[in-house]
Amino acid sequence: MSIKMARKIAILLIAGILLICSVGLVSASPVITSWGNDFTNDNSTNITVSTGTTVMFNATANETITTWNWTVNSVDQDNNASTFNYTFLSYGMYNVNVSGTNANGTTPMVTWNVTVELVITDDLGKTWRISQQPLKIVSLAPSNTEILFAVGAGNRVVGVTNFCDYPLEVGARVSAGNITRVGGFVVPSTEIIINLTPDLILAAHGNRIDVINKLIVHNFTVVALHPKNISDILGHIELVGDITRQKANATALTTNMTQRIETITSNTTHYSEAQRLRVLHVVWYPGIWVAGSGTFPHDIIQQAGGVNIASGISGWSMMSLEDILVGDPEVIITSGMGGGSEIIKANLMNNTIIQQTTAYRDGRIHAMGDPNIIERPGPRIVYGLEEFYSVFRSTPPITTIASSAGTSTFATSTVISGAVRDADPKSLTLNGVAITPAVDGSYSRGVSLSIGYNTFTVVATDLTGNSVTQTITVKRLLAGGVAPAPTPVPTPVPTPTPEPEPKPWYEIPGFGAIFAILGLLAVAYLCRRSKI
């Protein structure tokens, strides 16, 4: 082989090597060499967080990356950086992916598997972690059943109590075999519930604790709801919406309820104690069971503008007739479970102690038409609030006045102040001049005083036309510190009886007889002389 030929072969070999090297350098794609997150602070790709948690993910490549590509559950995210923040608002399983691209290509993808849990603490103090949507639900209370159907999860309910009768769809689904009756409210059948294999059980106050614990032992998720006020009820509706992934429906429902509630409370929250009617809510008879403090009817009474005379009793308890008489309710509302409102009312009306109350005397014992709207802490509770408010507002007399001022003063003026029970009287006048009370019903008006007694008249008229009048008398003293002397009243002088004018002597009785005798004597004397 000639030297010339050898040179050509060497040149070709060198060119080939250079070509191969250059091709190899161009086709080598970048690689992500490290990754991590600020939740576990390591390179773990399997992490568990609770709803509402924000996690920052990061990645580093062996080359400069011109475009970073982030996706969450295959949805592209608008982020072109090596770090990425994401807030997990709903529970479930999430895949967070990242890859990088430059002129040399795209890196292999790195994936984080994120489990997001809805962490809740129920009203029995038990903490539950929910990461999968429940598809088979058992309700152990009528109120829970109403909430489930109201938020749009009714098609996942597989079991209810014998008392769950609303909405009407419940009965239809039971008849169709889609829902099973699990027994009573206090002691439902655990055997039937276990056979239904639910992935969520909603319990309530009134379910026996041993029944709940037995279901928990069988590894069922049993969330207990025990609301004590309207705010709790709204919160439970939102919670059930979160658990069932019906948050939008739940929020729309509670927003509507809140607006209706505020329509009432905007008129009642500023009521003073004196402006509130004394109310008793009876839920069972005989033995007069009432709603005391810590119950949602207690809260409803307050929000509707009343004051619960059973507030000294905790929870649902019996109240003695003697204590009821001391509290002297102005309104009694009955709402017997199972539709017994009218029966309870009739029994109370025949009770000699109840007959001594103001409510009885004024004919203000009211039986709820549908007791369920006040006894079931669900979406219809707002109807109960509206009925209570209507009963309170339509209860005459609405308006009372409590005015005051000093009874005596040296000053030339004073202030007449007081309050009207009706926060929205049709009119309020002081000596015929209109005055406007404050939002809490209070009012005050300066008045001038004249020396002596000053009388002021306050008249309040309510929306139904009833008027109440109060008179206040204020005495202005003299500077010396004594009351002005009363205006002297002249002592009547008796008119003297006139002396009778003397009568002529000839009109005096007896004088005629005397003169007659004298005349006879004179005649006798003359006759005797004539004989001589």
Sorting pLDDT into bands at 50, 70 and 90, what band is 20? very low
Q: Dihedral sign, CA of 153, 159, 164, 167?
A: positive
Place of tokens 């927003």: 255
The DSSP-derived string for 462-479 is -TTS-EEEEEEEEEEPPT
Interval 238-282: pLDDT, tens: 999 999 999 999 999 999 999 999 999 998 998 888 889 999 999
- Mean pLDDT across the stretch 348-365? 95
Q: CA–CA separation, 244 vs 465, rounded Å?
A: 51
pLDDT at site 165 = 96
Assigned token pair, 69: 């590509």
Q: Name which residue leads in pLDDT, 83 or 424.
A: 83
Sorting pLDDT into bands at 50, 70 and 90, what band is 497? low
Q: CA–CA separation, 473 vs 117, rounded Å?
A: 71
Q: CA–CA separation, 146 vs 306, rounded Å?
A: 27
Provide CB contacts within 8 A for 389, sequence distance 6+.
264, 268, 304, 305
Tell me the residue length of the chain. 532
Q: CA–CA separation, 527 vs 532, rounded Å?
A: 9
Sorting pLDDT into bands at 50, 70 and 90, what band is 18? very low
Provide CB contacts within 8 A for 33, sequence distance 6+.
60, 61, 62
Q: CA–CA separation, 212 vs 214, rounded Å?
A: 5
318-322, 413-417, 459-463 — which is least confidently predicted? 459-463
Q: CA–CA separation, 251 vs 238, rounded Å?
A: 6
- Cα-based angle 69, 73, 74 (whole degrees, multiple of 5): 50
Q: CA–CA separation, 457 vs 429, rounded Å?
A: 8
Nearest one of 285, 230, 239, 283 to 260, comparing CA atoms = 230
pLDDT at site 13 = 59
Q: CA–CA separation, 121 vs 493, rounded Å?
A: 95
Q: Name which residue leads in pLDDT, 417 or 370.
A: 370
pLDDT at site 441 = 73
- Cα-based angle 423, 428, 433 (whole degrees, multiple of 5): 150
DSSP H or E segment with residue 230: helix 230-243
CB atoms within 10 A of CB 141: 26
Q: CA–CA separation, 146 vs 158, rounded Å?
A: 14
CB atoms within 10 A of CB 110: 17
Provide CB contacts within 8 A for 435, sequence distance 6+.
428, 429, 443, 445
Interval 327-356: pLDDT, tens: 999 999 999 865 589 999 999 999 999 999
pLDDT at site 340 = 86
Residue 77 has pLDDT above 80, yes or no: yes
114-128, 417-431, 456-470 — which is least confidently predicted? 417-431
- Crossing angle for the helix pair 296-303 and 381-393, to the nearest 10 degrees: 40
Query: Amino acid identity of 72?
Result: V
Conformational region of residue 522, where left means phi above 0, alpha means psi within -120 to 50, and beta covers everything else: alpha
Sorting pLDDT into bands at 50, 70 and 90, what band is 489? very low
pLDDT at site 474 = 86
Torsion of CA 268, 270, 273, 279, to 10 degrees: 10
